[in-house]
A = this chain, B = another copy of it.
Amino acid sequence: MSRRARLHEATKDEIKAAARKQMKAEGTAAISLRGIARDIGMTAPALYRYFASREDLITDLLLDAFNAIADVMVAADAAQPRTDYAGRLIAVMMAYRAWGLEHPIDFQLIYGNPIPGYIAPSELTIPAARRPFDLVVGILSEAMAAGRFKPPLTIEELPPSVAAHLRALIGSDDYPELPMALYIGIVGWTRIHGMVTLELFENTQSVVSDTEAFYRYEVTKLCKEMNLTSKT
């Protein structure tokens, strides 16, 4: 990578940092090229050397955010013994919350209100968006294959329409997982997501106060309920 290319990347990062700062102050919808330029001491047209348009910049920020949360989840998983399935899942779910609270704006960017007028290029964003979910489902599948994950419900008990869709998905290239791993994966995601978003917007604090203890207790309980154990 040439010196020039490195400088180019560094400026690109500086622009993105300014964009995040701006979103933090004014909300995700308030990304403004002129504001960014002002912040980093440039004129607005100069930004077009780095991004083709405001849309392009937003897409970059979205992909960065999806990859960032996926990365911390992967790292949290990697720090646990491979066969400690419950420990891995809990670590991954804790990482989801921690990242959300540390990066509330990026969290809002990827999981909150859409930015008016912006249409995400789905061929780029969908794969990035799926990384966290696929990680969880992957751990569940591994645990199931190892006989360490025995959910207290079977696919026959699910609503027929849901069960049929899950069965259809397993065969497809998109979701090569076992159906109950998929189902518990999505249930788990809705649960942690609810806790994190409500906490983020200050809706749970007044009732539980120690939101981290609450969260940890609930995700641990979830693993127990699902009979997810670890090889010791």
Q: Pick from A9-17, A62-70, A192-200 the stretch touching chain B.
A: A192-200
**What 11 additional pairs, Cβ within 8 angstroms, besides A159-B213, A162-B208, A186-B207?**
A28-B113, A112-B201, A113-B113, A159-B214, A162-B209, A165-B207, A165-B209, A189-B204, A190-B198, A193-B198, A194-B195
Q: Pick from A47-55, A79-87, A114-122 the stretch touching chain B.
A: A114-122
B116 touches A162 (CB 8 A): no
Is the contact region of chain A dominated by helix, strand, or loop, or is it mixed?
helix
Question: For the complex, is A29 an interface residue (Cβ under 8 Å from B)?
Answer: yes
A29-B29, A187-B218 are known contacts. Are A210 and B114 too (CB-CB below 8 A)?
no
Please indicate the chain B residues that have their CB under 8 angstroms from the CB of A112 in the complex. 112-113, 201
B114 touches A217 (CB 8 A): no
A207 touches B169 (CB 8 A): yes
In the assembly, how many copies of this chain are there? 2
Chain A contact residues, CB within 8 Å of chain B: 25-30, 108, 111-117, 129, 153, 158-159, 161-162, 165-166, 169, 174-175, 182-183, 185-187, 189-195, 197-198, 201, 203-204, 206-210, 213-214, 216-218, 221
B116 touches A29 (CB 8 A): yes
